[in-house]
Amino acid sequence: MQPTAQSLGIDRMSIEDRLRLIEEIWESLSPSADELPLPESHRLELDRRLAAADADPQAGLTWEEVKARLRGKS
């Protein structure tokens, strides 16, 4: 039987404790991320995007421009 939030008592934890647990679980995945297989289609798309960025470095926005756009000030 797979553990569940209910069987582990997670559903009875406070929101703050659950958020801390989520962060701890997320951080525990980080060292294993390199072990996950990368589909060929994803690798090709990453290569395409890197090549496009290298070909026209001015095509992107600065972080300040992105923040202004998100705030509706562009």
Q: How confident is the model over 14-69, as pLDDT tens digits?
A: 999 999 999 999 988 877 777 888 899 999 999 999 999 999 988 888 999 999 99
DSSP-H helix ranges across 30-72: 40-55, 63-70
Number of domains in the chain: 2
Q: For residues 29 and 44, state if they share a domain.
A: no
Q: Judge contact between 65 and 74, C-beta under 8 A.
A: yes
Comparing C-alpha atoms, which of 1, 54, 3 is closest to residue 25? Answer: 3
Structural domain span for residue 53: 37-74
Tell me the two tokens of residue 31: 């060292």
Q: Judge contact between 18 and 5, C-beta under 8 A.
A: no
What's this model's pTM, rounded to 2 decimal places?
0.47
How many Cα atoms sit within 13 Å of 48 on the Cβ side?
6
Q: For residues 14 and 30, state if they share a domain.
A: yes
Q: For residues 74 and 64, state if they share a domain.
A: yes
